[in-house]
Amino acid sequence: MPVTVAEKIQEAEACRLAGNELFKAKEFKKAILKYNRVFAFINGLVVEDQMEQYQRTLKREAPTPEEADAIQGLELNVWSNQALCYFKLKQWRKVLDVCSKILERNPHHSKALFNQGRAFMQLKDLDLAKRSLTEAAALVPNDVLIQKELQRLTALYRQQDEKEKKTWAHAFKKM
């Protein structure tokens, strides 16, 4: 069982890599479980200033600034990977939940904005999809995948407009 912060980070990283292998094998549910194990090792390592005294009382080692950065990077990376797994499983609300966690920490996380936009598209919330994808495109203007999703979004808007026109035309014919 890992004891030091460095050992816990190392164990968490091993879980992340194992999750990545499961993702590559298209074992998305198992990958999510493995990614969740990452948090068993790193939760509580980085605490707010007011909790430092409590941590010292428990004789817990506080992470160095470099370790704290590594922990935050690991969290963002794992959440991003989980969002992809949930997308593959067509669990759109979970994609949005995970992307929200990422964007709370880093509002300019282009992958989270991209995945959030794609999930909103699947839920037929085109305006929120447009907002997320436009923000992602502003951060990474040459990203081909983001541009393709924006084109797909434009087509969905057109389809929605056509459907509304037909609905109203049919409604007025009955009058």
What residue segments make up the domains of the chain, in order of their start? 1-89, 90-175
pLDDT in tens, the chain (175 residues): 778 889 999 999 999 999 999 999 999 999 999 999 999 888 877 645 545 555 555 566 778 889 989 999 999 999 999 999 999 999 999 999 999 999 999 999 999 999 999 999 999 999 999 999 999 999 999 999 999 999 999 999 999 888 877 777 766 776 6
Predicted local distance difference test score (pLDDT) of residue 163: 82
Name every residue whose Cβ is closer than 8 Å to that of residue 84 and which is 6 or more positions away in sequence. 23, 115
DSSP class of 16: H
DSSP class of 50: G
Name every residue whose Cβ is closer than 8 Å to that of residue 78 and which is 6 or more positions away in sequence. 16, 19, 35, 38, 39
CB 120 within 8 A of CB 134: no
pLDDT tens-digit readout, 62-76 = 788 899 899 999 999
The answer to whether the 1-89 and 90-175 domains have the same CATH topology is: yes
Nearest-5° angle of CA 158, CA 159, CA 161?
Answer: 65
3-state SS, residue 64: coil
pLDDT tens-digit readout, 142-169 = 999 999 999 999 999 999 888 877 777 7
Instruction: State the pTM of this model.
Output: 0.85
> What is the rounded CA–CA span in Å between residue 173 and residue 86?
44
CB 121 within 8 A of CB 156: yes
Structurally, at CATH architecture level, domain 1-89 sits in Alpha Horseshoe (1.25)
What's the topology of domain 90-175? 1.25.40
> What is the rounded CA–CA span in Å between residue 25 and residue 73?
24
Q: C-alpha distances in angstroms, 28 versus 73, 95, 112?
A: 21, 13, 18
CB 103 within 8 A of CB 91: no
